[in-house]
Structure 1
Amino acid sequence: MISPACRARWPRAFVLSLCLLAPATVRAQPVARRISPAVQALYEQANDEMDAMRYESACPRLEEVIRLAPDALGAKLTLGACYEGWGKLASAWSQYVLVEGAATKVGDLDRRMKAAVKAAALKPKLATLTIDVPASVRPIPGLTITRDGLPVREAQWSVPLPLDVGRHEMVVSGRGYKTRKQPIEIGEDGDRVAVSVLPLESMTNAGPGPERPWQRPAAIVAMGLGGAGLVAGAVLGGMAIARNQESNDGHCNAQERCDPTGLDLRRQAVGLGKGSTVALVAGGLLAAGGVALFVTAPSHAQRDERARPSGAQWRAEIALRPGGVAVQGGW
């Protein structure tokens, strides 16, 4: 922030140009020529908003001042005070540490001391977050962890890092795995929060292809049709055997000579036998195909269950009717 001595001797606009960036008096004039009216206006507006305790608007203005004037140690120190007033103690502490290091490099002992004192006072109050990465997760290829969009690299794992109070989000991803988002809540200053990265779901296990919500219902229908075919085949086979036995009951002799009734019964038996064979083969194929569809159905299809009424189940009705088999199903 601008020192009281500077405010007492110079008009406010010139003070900003002279004191905002200059680490030493000998550099005041060259730095002053680099300050634009826009930066001056932003800085003054931010100070006014801080005086009115409107930190939520003042801090972003100061961030913009620093973006436009990256050497502005005074603005960076003021931003730390803004964060502190806003209740973002971790951000304020980080800003003070940054100013302390930068001021040391340019020999600005006054700002270095102010920043060091502020940082030391805040450090015991900071909330921290520790992100643990289990051994089962670490081998994931291309493992990437971010917190609020910022990368959390391996050197930061299992280390308590200062974090502002509020809601945060950790995102974990890896090649061949589904991205997982984990919300994190820091309740109050001084909290010590630790979270563990949860296992990721392999895309291979989940099925790399598109979702096929129709596959499980289709599998059930196919198995139902196959079962019906097998039942029909068995029934037709039994009828064929019965007709053949009936033809032998006084209508056909041992030499396969039959009267007209016996011949008709034999023709019926042959037709029923052929129908039984067709039904058995078709039913077997449908049943096997239905089982294969059911086993290979992607797990994503289960998502449809959440959209159905509670307790709803797939039901299939199979009925043998004259001239064919009827299958009806639904949820």
Structure 2
Amino acid sequence: MSRRRAARLGAAALASIAALAGAPRPARAQAGGDAATAEVLFDQAIALMREGKYTEACPRLAESQRLDAGVGTLMYLAACYERLGKTASAWATYREAADAAGRRGQLDREQQAREGAAALEARLSRLLIEVPAGSAAPGLSVRRNGQELAPVLWGTPMPVDPGAYTIEASAPGRLPWSATVAVDPASGTATVAVPPLVEAPAPPPLPAAPAVAPRASTTAAPARPAPPDAAGMPAARVAALVAASAGVVGIGASIGVGFAARARFEDAGPHCEGDLCDDDGLTIREDALGIARAGTVVFIAGAAAVAAGGVLWLTSPSPRASAGARPAVQIGLGPAGLSLGGRF
């Protein structure tokens, strides 16, 4: 179609818009609340169009058409879009009106709508979104101003209203990409190509859970004294302390035995007068004498052990002496008394 023919059809369409402005209201297909609201919105839109306020009129016509569809409302809406410069929206609405009028047998309106669409077709701006084979990652999603585009639309010049469009692309495991392209009314077709999406870096590993330290007891355990050898004391001095301790215990035991012997001796009192005793008194005094002898033996053994401990302590090497120089001591306690032996 030549530009002169397109201009002539465009002039005819504008004339039809003026005719529509003075035409009667389109008949409504339904009654009720939606139809009444659609009627109010239609009246407001026509009044705004007569004042040249197309930006405010077009949304009212679109809502009126949604609530109660009519061919006349579509014709007005297409004319409103055309005056706003939304050529693609006006072209699509004219075509919709022509189809609706044809189904209803309104041949004059059908012809008028088709002429309006034909006049706009040569002026349409288009947007071509190309997705090369190297960019078609698995699960790729392409959006235009946030609206998902089906893959069949990739590589197809789509009629769009002039303006700015944001093209976005994303895919699992890839970094998202976006670009803004301006579609000029006189530019014909604007093209934007989706590049291969860069692989997203691997997420950092999750931090390890902090180890929970056991709660410390608030009551400190009493410190045990280190054994003498652990503190560096020679074995001979350890033996000296053991011998002296045993001797002290033996002396203490002999004192107890002495008290027991005295108590046993006093038990013979009723059987004796002075040094003269009957048989029972003699037996009791002999028992007391035996206990006393045993106490004497224990006392002598304890004293010997204390003395031996003192000798070992005095003759033992200092704590700094080597382990090989430490004496080996053996102490024994038997019926004959205390025995002491070893290497010094």
| TM-score normalized with structure 1 length | 0.52
**How far does residue 32 in structure 1 lie from its aligned partner after superposition?**
5.5
**How far does residue 208 in structure 1 lie from its aligned partner after superposition?**
2.5
Alignment of 1:147-296 (within 5 A): 147-203=144-200, 206-209=201-204
> In structure 2, which of residues 133, 142, 156 is the aligned counterpart of residue 145 of structure 1?
142
The one-letter code of the counterpart of 2:175 is K
The one-letter code of the counterpart of 2:94 is Y
Alignment match, 1:87: 85
Against the structure 1 CA distance between its residues 88 and 7, is the aligned structure 2 distance closer, same or farther, given a 3 Å change threshold?
closer
SS in 1 for 2:129: strand
Against the structure 1 CA distance between its residues 32 and 157, is the aligned structure 2 distance closer, same or farther, given a 3 Å change threshold?
same
- Give the total of aligned pairs: 192
5+ residue gaps, structure 1: 9-14, 23-30, 213-331
Give the conservation status (yes or no) of the 8 Å contact 1:130–1:159: yes
Separation in 1, partners of 2:84, 2:120:
14
Deviations 1:100-159 (A, max 9, x none): 222223333222211110000000011111111110112x22211121233322222222
Alignment match, 2:101: 103
Give the conservation status (yes or no) of the 8 Å contact 2:123–2:185: no
Q: Which has the higher helix share?
A: 1
Against the structure 1 CA distance between its residues 5 and 118, is the aligned structure 2 distance closer, same or farther, given a 3 Å change threshold?
closer
> In structure 1, which of residues 102, 121, 124 is the aligned counterpart of residue 122 of structure 2?
124
**How far does residue 78 in structure 1 lie from its aligned partner after superposition?**
0.9
Q: Percent same amino acid at aligned positions? A: 34
Compare CA radii of gyration and give the structure with the larger one: 2
SS in 1 for 2:121: helix
**How far does residue 44 in structure 1 lie from its aligned partner after superposition?**
0.8
Give the conservation status (yes or no) of the 8 Å contact 1:42–1:62: yes
Separation in 2, partners of 1:32, 1:109:
25
Alignment match, 1:43: 42
SS in 1 for 2:197: coil
Deviations 1:15-69 (A, max 9, x none): 53xx2445xxxxxxxx466863321111111111111111111111111112212
Give the conservation status (yes or no) of the 8 Å contact 2:95–2:117: yes
Alignment match, 1:235: none
5+ residue gaps, structure 2: 1-15, 208-344
**How far does residue 178 in structure 1 lie from its aligned partner after superposition?**
2.6
SS in 2 for 1:136: helix
SS in 1 for 2:135: coil
Cα root mean square deviation, aligned: 2.9
Separation in 1, partners of 2:159, 2:92:
9
The one-letter code of the counterpart of 2:117 is A
**How far does residue 83 in structure 1 lie from its aligned partner after superposition?**
0.5
Deviations 1:201-248 (A, max 9, x none): 222xx2334999xxxxxxxxxxxxxxxxxxxxxxxxxxxxxxxxxxxx
**How far does residue 82 in structure 1 lie from its aligned partner after superposition?**
0.4
